[in-house]
Amino acid sequence: MRADWPWVQAWFTDATLDRELGPLDEEWLEHVLADQEGVELVVTDGAGAAVALVGVAWDPDGATHGITDLAVDPGRRRAGLGGQALAVVLAWPGHPPAAGWVAFVDPDNAPAFAFFTRQGWVHDGLDEDEMHRFHR
């Protein structure tokens, strides 16, 4: 992941990514590199270029793993890559077994709300932290 840091930083100079998922800093990188309870997956195109970065938190009890972040290359937005990346990540064989998946969306992030709705995830309402909870 450290080798990916330059392009990840470049992506997060995009105002939308920085607002919705940032700020991105060395503390975040160190957390991701040390985290043993999940994974940050890079989804690439056929030529090996990164098209999406998707974070997953694993549930140690195997109930529901969580999507923690999903960033698409800012230059390739609105091309369906987010949905494709999510499908690839959910099917990745490296995840421990789980009964389902959850995602939490900030109430101010209407595009993410619409994204999970389009992907067929079920909206459960607001959780105790006032975040929209989705499951599948």
Please, what is the Cα angle at 122 between 121 and 126, to 5 degrees? 120
CATH of 2-135, one of 3.40.630.30, 1.20.1050.10, 3.40.50.880, 1.20.1510.10: 3.40.630.30
Instruction: Please tell me the pTM assigned to this model.
Output: 0.84
Ranges of each domain in the chain? 2-135
Q: Give pLDDT tens digits for 75-111.
A: 888 889 999 999 999 999 999 999 999 999 999 999 9
